[in-house]
Chains A and B, each alone.
Chain A
Amino acid sequence: MTTHPAPAHAGQPPASSTAQLSDPQNPVAPTSTTAADTGATTAEPAPTAEPAPTAGPAAEPGTATTTSARPGGQLAIQARDLVKTYRGGIRALDGLSFGVAPGTVFGLLGPNGAGKSTTVKILTTLSRPDSGSATVAGVDVLTHPSQVRRAIGVVTQRSGVDLEATGRENIALAAHLHGLSRAELNDRVTELLDRFELVKAADRLARTYSGGMLRKLDVAVGLVHRPSVLFLDEPTTGLDPQARAQMWDEIGSLATDGLTILLTTHYLEEADRLASQVAIIDGGRILVEGSPDELKSDLRGDAVHLELATVPDAAVVAELTVALGQVAGVTATTVDGREVHTRVTHGASSLPAVFAAFERVNVAVVTATIARPSLDDVYLRHVGRRFVAGAESSDQHLGTSKEVA
């Protein structure tokens, strides 16, 4: 997590991918389609609603509008105060709110049980919140669920592929169910098989597919009706590293196509790499939200990770925390088992003083690493423990954590 690949900002597609947004989508269509109509799918209020007075300028053809700059209410996804309690009193969501600008990738990051999947279920109309409201593609999920279902593509954690059907049949079934015309259907299916490199396997039963191929098929099925918002619920969970890297490339290219993507993940690296906006969620609440860069720069300075020879006892931890707190430039210290994480304004120049602090309290350091802050450090800072993929919240809370300064 010490390398920082540039997050794929959907708003700034690399030159090579610009062709994917072909210009013929000229909003000035030779039909009676109005400006408000063409913009409606992403940005405007529910198609049933009358065009809002503000719709004109925002959706005006040819206007250089950056979607993220639009005022609230025109977000591709907006969740307000969502609360959901399951039977048995488990509070999955506890007043969750966030917004996603059209054409961006939003990463919802958190451990299992944090409320990510529940959020996706509510936004995809599968589940209803106890209270709160949400709009997707400008449509209220509670009052107009069937309109939302037409506008979204969903790739759930549990796949959704029919294993007893071929890849081609899976995509074709989705196309039939969405009502693609016969003329368009075959082309669309071929197009997607091609796009996701499934042509060779197209007529094999999905049962024979590898995990990575199944995931690709899942995404292809989710895109068949050209949705404006795509939900990817832990799209790379359970994939081997190579398949995961491939999936990241696919998601990255979807983002440059201008699709709005809500990505849930418990891989920090994934969110860092793909999302332009990230929210860390735990216990059904948003702990912190921002772009990966903002979140990292909030941390100020560098992360210095040190590994100790032994697990220190509580007294030593307290002494160490105080000693490190006295070092100039150290802003925060967290001790987690044998690992010590500090935030240092200038990592390299402060390192000798940091080592000196360890010597003063007689603690042996095995390794030391200086890194630019990663989302991992953001998580550590806000949740108070290291992020362990797939771990239940409290299990990994081995050491004591303490904020200094």
Chain B
Amino acid sequence: MMPGLADATRPDATQVDATRPDATQGTVDTAGTTARQGRSVAIPVPRPAPTQSQYAASAGSQLRWLTVRHLRALLRQPAYLAITIVQAVVWLPLFGSLFRHVVEVPGFGGGSYFDFLTPGVVVMSALFSAGWAGMRVIVDIDRGVMDRMLASPVRRAALTSSALVYQVVVTTIQSTIILLLGWAVGTHYRNGLVGPVVLLIAAALVAVSVAALSNALALIVRKEDVLIAAVNFCILPLTFLSSAIMARDLMPGWMQVIAHVNPVDWAVSAARESGSVDPDWGSVSVHLVLLAALAVVAATLATRAFDSYRRSL
């Protein structure tokens, strides 16, 4: 902070400097300067002109503030968080009672259905909320926020990754709420905190992948109704073609084949396995690595879509 700048921003000097560009300072003509001196005695200290390079934000700082922007908007919509909680509150008992007896079916493996269901509901919730991530992109494009960002020194990486970081934060909050609710209705976390932690990681990876794909689609189609249709089209099959609410062994053969390549199933399987009494860590790692790889691919696609948006301007 230069001493001169402190003066410039004093309340009484506000009007004086509010809009003065740094750049024209060298071009002030002598006569004008003389005339000005009478009016600007409040700022007697000569100060160096701010140059363009005076302002430079790190990518980390930009990422942080762009993420804060989204989170602040989220906190202003308590209804959204409330609905998420209510949704989990409804889903757990709903599916819980509906399928209570499937655990007795041979091949399911026994145990409490809530034990089985809680990871499924966590991943479903992550999937649902990340699916709509693209809506924020479309609103930003429509409002002109995107163009303003692109004409500013905001790094493109900060712009794209802030949406994903935000989604991870939201998903982690959501998942934690559901895990607590599950615990309240009687879910056993047999392997201590290991299961829930792996579940949070898996849900976050699903959220990143799905949000990145949703953002990519939003940047390409730029229409809310198309995005809504696409998300609706994808989410339910992804849920039901996984072991989120039904054991894989009880699915028809063709569904089992699909489930093997369904990221929702990877996440649920990794979480269930790690939460069991004697986890098969090989299987957990494979599933987590697959999810991470998908997240990288999806983020790359989103970056490509972003480039194509910029080219279309």
Contact = CB atoms under 8 A, between A and B. Distances in A.
Interface of A: 13, 15, 18-31, 33, 35, 37-43, 47, 59, 61-67, 87, 102-103, 121, 124-128, 137, 146-147, 149-152, 154, 156-165, 169, 173-174, 176-181, 183-184, 187-188, 190-192, 194-195, 205, 221, 223, 225-230, 253-254, 257-260
Contacts of A151: 23, 52
Interface of B: 1, 4-5, 7-9, 11, 13-33, 35-37, 39-40, 43-53, 55-58, 61-62, 65-66, 69, 72-73, 76, 142-145, 147-154, 310-313
B39 A19 contact: yes
A180 to B, nearest CB: 6
Given A41-B22, A228-B22, A19 B47 contact: no
Contacts of B1: 181, 183-184
A23 B33 contact: yes
Contacts of B39: 18-19, 22
A195 B19 contact: yes
B35 A259 contact: no
A102 B45 contact: no
Contacts of A19: 16, 36, 39-40
A178 B37 contact: no
B32 A37 contact: no
Nearest to A32: B48
A164 B37 CA distance: 43
Contact of B17 (A22, A63, A156): A22
A24 B47 contact: yes
Contacts of A150: 52-53, 55-56, 153
A330 B75 CA distance: 69
Given A18-B35, A18-B36, A178-B152, A160 B18 contact: no
Contact of A41 (B13, B44, B52): B52
B28 A163 contact: no
B150 A126 contact: yes
A5 B50 CA distance: 35
Contact of A259 (B5, B21, B33, B55): B21
A64 B20 contact: no
B144 A160 contact: yes
A124 B76 CA distance: 33
Nearest to A123: B151
Contact of A179 (B36, B55, B311): B55
A178 B45 contact: no
Nearest to A180: B55
5 contacts: A41-B24, A102-B27, A177-B66, A195-B14, A223-B19
Contacts of A20: 15-17, 19-20
Contact of A157 (B11, B62, B66, B144): B144
Nearest to B76: A164
B147 A126 contact: yes
Given A64-B29, A161-B145, A147 B52 contact: yes
A23 B28 contact: yes
B9 A158 contact: no
B19 A259 contact: yes
Contact of B145 (A27, A160, A184, A192): A160
Nearest to B58: A179
A147 to B, nearest CB: 7
B62 A103 contact: no
Contact of B25 (A38, A149, A152, A163): A38
Contacts of B76: 164, 205
Contacts of B18: 191-192, 194-195, 223
A43 B26 CA distance: 9
Given A25-B28, A64-B30, 6 more contacts: A18-B39, A41-B24, A64-B31, A67-B24, A191-B18, A257-B19
A87 B312 CA distance: 8
Contacts of A147: 52
B51 A258 contact: no
A175 to B, nearest CB: 9
A155 B16 CA distance: 22
B9 A184 contact: yes
Contacts of B44: 24
A19 B33 CA distance: 9
B240 to A, nearest CB: 34
A115 B75 CA distance: 41
Contacts of A13: 32
B20 A21 contact: yes
B90 to A, nearest CB: 27
Contacts of A225: 55
A203 to B, nearest CB: 12
A29 B55 contact: no
A348 to B, nearest CB: 40
Contacts of B51: 33, 37-38, 40-41
Contacts of B32: 13, 18, 21
Given A41-B22, A151-B23, A191 B73 contact: no
Nearest to A16: B39
A22 B40 contact: yes
A146 B27 contact: no
**Taking each of B4, B7, B20, B35, which has the highest tally of chain A beta carbons within 10 Å of its own beta carbon?**
B20
Given A18-B32, A19-B39, A195-B14, A226 B26 contact: no
Contact of A156 (B45, B73, B148): B148
Contacts of B21: 41-42, 226-230, 257-260
A99 to B, nearest CB: 16
